[in-house]
Chains A and B, each alone.
Chain A
């Protein structure tokens, strides 16, 4: 069982928006603004999409955005494209001795 809870799957049609939630506790997501989101295509390494809750790496599309409220972080992808179909993982810094926790991953299907 993963430390952070994500829905197993979400889906949307091209052009639509979807949101993936990531629920933790007051010892991780709720306490630290160090929440990251990763995209992973099959057979590939994860790629950083969002860091520090809502910051995008240089060059990343602004279709990807992050937010946090209490113990729950969220990733929103707007204007869905076929290439967005992938697994998405959230992660958070956490109190010692845990330090880093991941969500179980969410499979995004673009219909």
Chain B
């Protein structure tokens, strides 16, 4: 069974940083890309970034809205993905989902984690 479990969310002050983790199991992590998607309370889904698998260079792409403040990484030896978020703002308050991406160049999620809530507030 494919599983993705996010952790690392919580209450954080504006301007601070946070790193979220995504522990995966049930599939060969190294064969798939990972996208991170967030959802502000009561709002829709927003894609924030993607990391390719090593076969495609392990390179990253980011949404323009977060490009200068977000960094996605992966550790294929432990099947874990990360998203580092810097200079957090109140508008970054959201549930952050880690997702497995299907296909080699789609960026599109097939499996989703349960999400972790990040609240940015003083």
Binding site for B on A (CB under 8 A): 2, 34, 36, 38, 44-48, 51, 57, 89, 91, 93, 96-105
Contacts and interface: CB of A to CB of B under 8 A. Distances in A.
Interface of B: 35, 44-47, 50, 61, 63-64, 97, 102-103, 106-115
Contact of A98 (B64, B113, B115): B64
Query: Which 8 A-B residue pairs are closest in the complex by CB-CB distance?
Result: A100-B47, A45-B112, A102-B45, A105-B44, A104-B44, A48-B110, A100-B107, A36-B108
Given A46-B97, A51-B102, A91 B108 contact: yes
Contacts of A45: 97, 112-115
A82 B113 CA distance: 25
B62 to A, nearest CB: 8
B108 A34 contact: yes
A46 B112 contact: yes
14 contacts: A34-B103, A44-B114, A45-B97, A48-B109, A51-B110, A57-B110, A89-B44, A91-B45, A91-B47, A99-B107, A100-B35, A100-B63, A102-B45, A105-B45
